[in-house]
Amino acid sequence: MESNFDKKQNLKERLEFVRFYSGWVKSVPNEVWSKQQTDFLNSLFENAVNYPFSPEKYLKSLKK
């Protein structure tokens, strides 16, 4: 199966995002980005109950 995934393009896009986001974090007050990060992390924890694997089963699946 052939993949159209371009590793160099992916790396370029990821680095652009990191530069963009780090610039944003530097440009806004700590309270703003800290609140946004807290909301994001809390939503991940709240949604974790919907994940079909236990932590142990997930880690085992990574080793395959």
Instruction: State pLDDT tens for residues 2-61.
Output: 567 799 999 999 999 999 999 998 999 999 989 999 999 999 888 888 878 787 888 888
Q: What is the pLDDT of residue 3?
A: 66
**Per-position DSSP letters for 17-38, written without gaps between them:** HHHHHHHHHHHS-HHHHHHHHH
pLDDT of residue 32: 92
Compute CA distances 51 → 2, 42, 57, whole Å.
Answer: 30, 15, 11
Range of the domain at 49: 31-64
In a domain, 61, yes or no: yes
CB 58 within 8 A of CB 49: no
Question: Does 25 reside within a domain?
Answer: no
Give domain status of residue 16, yes or no.
Answer: no
Q: Is residue 55 part of a domain?
A: yes
The answer to whether residue 47 is domain-embedded is yes
Residue 1 has pLDDT above 70, yes or no: no
Q: State how many domains the chain has.
A: 1
| pLDDT confidence of residue 18 | 96
Domain-embedded: residue 7: no
Indicate whether 42 belongs to any domain: yes
53, part of any domain: yes
